[in-house]
Amino acid sequence: MVLLALLSVSMAVAADYSQQRRQMLEGIADDVRLTAEKINKTSFSGRVIRAMMTVPRHEFVPESLRALAYENRPLPIGYGQTISQPYIVALMTDLLQPQAGQRVLEIGTGSGYQAAVLSRLVAQVYSIEIIEALGIATRDRLKRLGYDNIETRIADGYNGWAEHAPYDSIIVTAAISHIPPPLVAQLKKGGRMVIPVGTRFQTQYLTLVEKDAQGAITTRQVLPVVFVPFTGGH
């Protein structure tokens, strides 16, 4: 009887989160409609939406904030960092156009949520976090949750991770005043990078960087955003 009761509670909790995830996706869809002209999209890839539905966001926020985990807004994760708004996670992921078999570099692991979403869509994610305590906790979380195609390291992400370059795409989850040249160099020809460009004192824009087959770079400002600042030597 006790086992059945526990199972019943577990199923109820899972059902609650399932409903909250659906509400999160509705919030994302609402934001897509509101920003359609700026992002040049009226919807996100079905693969991206399925990944957002699958990854348990409540596992990537502090336990005290789990009741808010599926609200369409950023939340603090400690160390002065945040987990991004689900709409922004979905937008950045969609802009990368992730494909099975690809390798992605992430700068700014944070709680690991963005990496977890990407891991459902590509072959391998490499992620760098500069804050040691946060990086260690997130590495352990990803391992506990079974995300075995994510490799993390603790370092200054400005110089990327040359050992595994070039990357099909690169995602940066902290704002910086310019696009780091080492990251451009580590991006494959035909690849895409999504990065918030700006500072605390000027408007930040989510920026799409594309490298064509000849290695030429084009950039497009997608949307005004507010991200925590890039830290480290640069």
Establish whether 84 is a catalytic residue: yes
> What sign does the dihedral 98-103-107-108 (CA atoms) show?
positive
Listed residue (52, 48, 46) closest to 20, CA to CA: 52
Which DSSP state fits 175?
Answer: B
State the number of CA atoms in the 13 A half-sphere of 21 facing the CB: 17
For residue 129, list its beta bridge partners. Answer: 154
CA-based R_g, the chain, Å: 18
φ/ψ (deg, to 5) at 117: -60, -50
Q: Which residues contact 200 (CB under 8 A, 6 or more apart)?
A: 229
| Chain position carrying tokens 């760098």 | 128
Give the integer Cα–Cα distance in Å for 222 and 92.
Answer: 10
Which listed residue (18, 64, 84, 177) is catalytic? 84
Which active-site residues does the annotation give? 84
